[in-house]
Amino acid sequence: MHTPRPPVPPFDDPRLEGGAAFAEGRIVPLSDAKISLFDWGFTRSDATYDVASTWQGAFFRLDDHIERFFASLDKMRLRIPYDRAGLREVLHRCVRAGGLQDAYVAMVCTRGVPPRGARDPRLAENRFYAYALPFVWIAPREKQLAGIDLHISQRQRIAPESVDPTVKNYHWMDLVQSLYDAYELGRDTSCVVDAAGHITEGPGFNVFAVKNGVVRTAARGVLEGVSRRTAIELCQRLGIALDVSPLPAQALREADEVFLTSTGGGVLPIAKIDGQPLPQPFPGPVTTRLYDAYWALHDEPAYRDAVEYR
């Protein structure tokens, strides 16, 4: 049972233009949002988070992000001093405070700082933060138009038996190193594999392949992204064949189309795999249908949560 939400205090600070954070129970400028050097969220990556977005003044699938965040909190044995309605209020307040229409909106809970000398995580006071800043794209618009070149790194994603990938986390050393692999080869971004050589995910996105009209994506070992879920649901809505199962790296190389899904851009078409152009015209027909349908969903009332600006 989560504790009732405390009130969110009022604010009046001209420094909030361009983004705002919620820290220590109040709205503050982004530059004033701080985390302790001794917080286990920093020293041990003992934290969970989620990222929602607003587009043209409305959150997209905010309830789904909030539900996933609370599920992650439960799995991590973390608690925040807000219920779902209180968390929604905080996130809306951050967007309003920054005057943002298109925003990247994060909610974060860290383990906190245990008493001096203690190594028992149960003794730490969990800390909650949130912030909103201008929308963050996985790739800038010009790169999207030119075509993203995706590198398949041979680095292995942390096994789900070790770190549950369905809990959004900051265990990104494998993903960050894979980015360096990509940059050294002149590629734009990367994805990693599991111990069997199957594609898992990339830094902040899920990966999909299209072959002979069938959309494929990994079944396990990945974050179950809200954008991933949206693409899967759109396949079902549009009558596009879907296969959620292990995705060998070779299947990605031999695909007709490849696309990524992420809150930071929705459906993002890939033009090349390791420098080799994909056979379909860029972007491919299936990817284009899903791209158009994804952005059309933003206008459907069931997925919109409008921000009330003042």
Residue 6 has a pLDDT of: 45
User: Which residue in 112, 72, 87 sits closest to 22, CA to CA?
Assistant: 87
Q: Are 264 and 134 in contact (CB under 8 A)?
A: no
Cα 276 to Cα 256: distance, rounded to the nearest angstrom: 12
* Banded model confidence at residue 143, pLDDT cuts 50, 70, 90: confident
Q: What number is the average pLDDT over the span 262-288?
A: 95
Domain residue limits, the chain: 14-134, 141-297
Asked if residue 15 has pLDDT above 80, the reply is no
pLDDT at residue 236 tops 60: yes
Q: How confident is the model at residue 18 (pLDDT cuts 50, 70, 90)?
A: confident
Write the CA distances from 220 to 213, 217, 251, integer angstroms: 22, 9, 16
**Contact (Cβ atoms closer than 8 angstroms) between residue 198 and residue 247:** yes
pLDDT in tens, 187-229: 999 999 999 999 999 999 999 999 999 999 999 999 999 999 9
Same fold flag, 14-134 and 141-297: no
pTM: 0.92
Which pLDDT value is given to residue 127? Answer: 97
Cis peptide before 283 (omega within 30 of 0): yes
Report which of residues 60 and 310 the model is more confident about.
60
Highest CATH level, class, for 14-134: alpha beta
31-57 per-position pLDDT tens digit: 999 999 999 999 999 999 999 999 999
> Which of 2, 173, 36, 13 has its CA nearest to residue 99?
13
Q: Tell me what percent of the residues of the chain surpass a pLDDT of 90.
A: 90
Q: Work out the average pLDDT over 168-180.
A: 96
Residue 5 binned pLDDT confidence (cut-offs 50, 70, 90): very low
Which letter does DSSP use for residue 2 in this model? P
Residue 194: partners with Cβ closer than 8 Å, 6 or more residues away: 156, 157, 159, 200, 221
According to CATH, the topology of domain 141-297 is D-amino Acid Aminotransferase; Chain A, domain 2 (3.20.10)
> Hey, is 282 helix, strand or coil?
coil
State what percent of residues in the chain have pLDDT above 70. 95
Tell me: pLDDT of 23 over 90. Answer: yes
